[in-house]
Structure 1
Amino acid sequence: MTRRFLGSLRGQLVLLIIGALLLAQAISLWLFVDERGLAVRAALGSEAAGRAANVARLIEEAPTDLQASILRAADSPLVRFSITEQPEVDHLDHEDGGSVEARMRALLGPDDDRPIRVELHEAEGSLTPMSHINADASTMHLQMMQGALSTLEMTVSVGLEDGRWLNVDTRFNRPPLQWPVISTLSFGITAAFLLIAAIWFLLSRLTGPLRRVASAAERFGKGEAPGALPATGPREVRDLTVAFNEMQDRLTRHIADRTRVLAALGHDLRSPLTALRVHAELVDEDDIRDSMVSSIEEMQEMVEQTLAFARGMAMSEEVQTLDVGTFLEKLRQDMAGGFEMRDVPALQIRMRPNAIRRALRNLVENAERYGGGAFVTVRANDGSLAIEVLDEGPGVPEAELERVFEPYFRLEQSRSRNTGGTGLGLSIARTIARAHGGDVILENRSAGGLRATLILPRENSV
């Protein structure tokens, strides 16, 4: 069921829509997290710049004996202040620090031209506290920050008036990737609305007419007349439906015209043949009379077979649902028990009974005439029903297994012409089978004889 759904247009479009939504959500989430990271970096950088500027002013204004206390008070678990003779940022080419430097100069005043160096880089190792003061706060902060988070480290070196340097080391984490509840709810509502609108409404208008066209084509291929389909759905589907209706109408007219021509030809030949038969009976010489009567009878039989062939091409008979065993038993009784039968499954199948009866009668009569008797068995396959007619005759040369289905073709070697027949029996049987969406196949049996298999589809069986 799942494979069938995924193989359908509806299933594939469902997967496409859900996949597109997931991809869009993933891209949006990635962009959102990146924007959050930039915002956090800017906020923390601005805060560090403000604290560094304030501490620098305070150090310069406070007495020397209070500077150590000021630095201890300014320290935090992730921010450390120190005063050294040399700057910790020992190079002037620093990147990503322009905004921090600009923030500090704005706080220090426009006339302050002291040197400011900023360095920002990925920190190696896990996030650890940068001071030992306030151990409880440090431990709590580390517990909150557990996880696979990348750490950024920023170092700021600010020149003091006495030539020393105030160094500020701070660390902060990039924001982790998160899937907020609101985003999840939004995704679910969006997907639900899209699936309802696109799948259960738009696709129903698309796949419904397509299924009807496919079903009608299947039934038309089996000889049924589904009739004209209503043109509904999108314009492309309506065009397809109209084209199918026109094709169905043209094929029906073509087959009907061809059938009428064959029937008219066979019917019109009856009268001159009857007249010839009357004239032949008036011939005095027995040998000549018998030869002429025999030829005329053979021609009459060919005319009758031609009419039967035309009837086999016609599709006017109504399709019925019949039990296979009951159908074959009735055929066997009608043929005065002309064949043996076994292994018939309890299965019902849709067919045009008179046409199938004519096809099976031709196969059984061929087996009796050329193979010394007929044995009928039924085999149910996946999607089809095979009715096999077996005989124990000489079989058919492999090269002729397809040619024997040509109208009026008769074998001259393995099957004698003197036994009767016009060469239309197999043609009629195959025409009827293919009109049902099946076929007739001939095979030589390994044990000797011929196997004629009439195959009927089971898609419409019940």
Structure 2
Amino acid sequence: MLPRTLRGQIIALIVVALAIAQALTLWLFVDQRALAVRSALAIEAADRAGSTARLLEDAPPDLRSEILQAASSSLVRFAIGPTPLVTGETGNAPNWIERRIRAVLATDDPRAVRVDLHTDQPRPPPRAGPGAGQMHGMGQMRAPPGQPPVSTTALDLSIALADGSWLNVTSRFRDPPYQWVWSEALPFALTAGLLAIVLWFALARLTGPLRSLAGAADRLGRGEDVEPIAAAGPEEMRRLALSFNDMQARLDRFVRERTQLLGALGHDLRSPLTALRVRAEMVEEEETRERMIATIEEMREMVEATLAFSRGMATNEPVETVSLAGLIGGLAREFDETGLAVTTGEIDDAELRIRPLSMRRALRNLIENAVRYGGRAAVSARKQGGSVVIRIDDEGPGIEARELERVFEPFVRLETSRSRETGGVGLGLSIARAAVIAHGGGITLENRPEGGLRVTVTLPGERTA
């Protein structure tokens, strides 16, 4: 398996590529080595065959047997017979072998020389005709006991003698086995080790800025204030850092302008609403006056909720590390003092990097929502991987599946048990979701099988790296 880090993967891929190149080079070397050995053995056999042919023609006939025996070895056997061992005119062999034999015999010698070079399994040499010398010993070309047969290179020569007979030469040899020695692996190991060390430090110019960018993106996703990233490393990394800084600046400007707009709108509406309330108090007819005051009060509540919504989106509160148990426990004590039915379940020991006021406001809205529409709320919090999951369960009628996502939209109020008469203007869930998302988390609603609604808030846990 590849390493998890980018630097480790790059080094591993380069070392693997180096190993493949080394293996290919070794394979080519072994092949060339075998070719060189075959050529050397063929040259030796051709020279010996030409010299033996000349010696046989110059020696008395009664010495031929001794000459053949002296010229033969465990790999090359000589025999004289009435017919050639190589039946073709030229056989199947490179022309340079025949030229080598003729150079040993004589440059103008017209005698027939036949050569056959092929690869074959070990086999007993062909029997010579009557009067020929014996070609024994070739059966020694066998694979070691317990191993499959080894293919051999066979070189057969037939040289015509002056008396009409043929000198038949049979040579069998195997490619020499490759012997692995640790001295050949040592240069590769040293090269790979030095290359890995150099790459480890060289790639720091690439992975260092990437780690800084990843950390900044994680903190930005949590809603923390992030300083601009220093443009360092290769040109591509510099451009990436500058692009991230520009994106962060645009996001900050967009959120700030939107928050300011909502806040200014809410403040500007307060003055005319106050004037309307004063004028409504001056209406003499009681029924009309009460209706006007109720309508103005509803508008004022919507303005206040809008201001609260804008405050929930603001990011000027500093981020702090807080205890999960302390956060949930503090809220539970507040609700207990007010007499609301809020219970706490299992709370894991964990820490969060959050804006405490913003997150308390969001959780308070969710718990109050559960108590208002479900009668009671049960809060639990567990660690799951690198995240913290907070669950708020109620015992109410739940929400239709098609409305589970729409209720997060601003000013959306359902017409069932979560209607206007129960209180609120439809911004509680919107404020909660805005705060949770600003912390890099998420929030979902689901109907429980046993009845009631479950709110699940997922927040990133504190990074320990």
Common topology (TM > 0.5): yes
1:245 Cα deviation (Å)?
A: 1.0
Residue correspondences, number: 456
Q: Distance in 2 between matches of 1:427 and 1:40?
A: 84
1:114 Cα deviation (Å)?
A: 1.3
1:283 Cα deviation (Å)?
A: 2.1
> 1:438 is matched with which residue?
441
Q: Distance in 2 between matches of 1:127 and 1:27?
A: 36
1:427 aligns with 2:424: no
Q: Distance in 2 between matches of 1:134 and 1:118?
A: 21
1:178 Cα deviation (Å)?
A: 4.3
> 2:154 is matched with which residue?
153
> 1:213 is matched with which residue?
213
1:268 aligns with 2:287: no
Q: Distance in 1 between matches of 2:410 and 2:330?
A: 29
**Would you say the 8 A contact 2:353–2:462 is kept in 1?**
no
**Would you say the 8 A contact 2:153–2:172 is kept in 1?**
yes
Amino acid corresponding to residue 347 of structure 2 in structure 1: V
1:410 aligns with 2:407: no
Task: For residue 27 of structure 2, give the secondary structure of its aligned residue in structure 1.
Answer: helix
Q: Distance in 2 between matches of 1:126 and 1:106?
A: 30
In structure 2, do the counterparts of structure 1 residues 448 and 124 end up closer, same or farther at CA, with 3 Å as the change threshold?
closer
1:375 aligns with 2:372: no
TM-score, normalised to structure 1's length?
0.91
Q: Distance in 1 between matches of 2:4 and 2:363?
A: 38
Say which is worse superposed, 328-337 or 107-116, in terms of deviation: 328-337
In structure 2, do the counterparts of structure 1 residues 230 and 178 end up closer, same or farther at CA, with 3 Å as the change threshold?
farther
Deviations 1:300-328 (A, max 9, x none): 21111111111111112222111111111
Q: Distance in 2 between matches of 1:126 and 1:247?
A: 79
Amino acid corresponding to residue 167 of structure 1 in structure 2: N
Say which is worse superposed, 381-390 or 252-261, in terms of deviation: 381-390
Q: Distance in 2 between matches of 1:228 and 1:302?
A: 38
Amino acid corresponding to residue 245 of structure 2 in structure 1: N
1:91 Cα deviation (Å)?
A: 1.3
Identity among equivalent pairs (%): 50
Q: Distance in 2 between matches of 1:126 and 1:303?
A: 104
1:350 aligns with 2:347: no
Q: Distance in 2 between matches of 1:162 and 1:125?
A: 32
> 2:68 is matched with which residue?
71
1:49 Cα deviation (Å)?
A: 1.1
Amino acid corresponding to residue 372 of structure 2 in structure 1: R
Deviations 1:261-308 (A, max 9, x none): 111111222222222222222222222222222222222211111111
> 2:55 is matched with which residue?
58
1:223 aligns with 2:223: yes
Amino acid corresponding to residue 389 of structure 1 in structure 2: I
> 2:195 is matched with which residue?
194
**Would you say the 8 A contact 1:350–1:461 is kept in 2?**
no
Q: Distance in 2 between matches of 1:381 and 1:95?
A: 75
Q: Distance in 1 between matches of 2:135 and 2:172?
A: 16
The 5-angstrom pairing of residues 100-119 of structure 1 reads: 100-119=97-116
Amino acid corresponding to residue 40 of structure 1 in structure 2: V
Q: Distance in 2 between matches of 1:141 and 1:396?
A: 86
Give RMSD over aligned pairs: 2.7
> 1:318 is matched with which residue?
318
> 1:252 is matched with which residue?
252
Q: Distance in 2 between matches of 1:75 and 1:384?
A: 84
In structure 2, do the counterparts of structure 1 residues 73 and 178 end up closer, same or farther at CA, with 3 Å as the change threshold?
same
1:453 Cα deviation (Å)?
A: 1.9
> 2:130 is matched with which residue?
none
Unaligned 5+ residue runs, structure 1?
none
1:157 Cα deviation (Å)?
A: 0.8
**Would you say the 8 A contact 2:266–2:304 is kept in 1?**
yes
Q: Distance in 1 between matches of 2:124 and 2:164?
A: 32
The 5-angstrom pairing of residues 234-313 of structure 1 reads: 234-313=234-313
In structure 2, do the counterparts of structure 1 residues 263 and 127 end up closer, same or farther at CA, with 3 Å as the change threshold?
farther
Amino acid corresponding to residue 263 of structure 2 in structure 1: A
> 2:81 is matched with which residue?
84
Amino acid corresponding to residue 27 of structure 2 in structure 1: W
**Would you say the 8 A contact 1:159–1:166 is kept in 2?**
yes
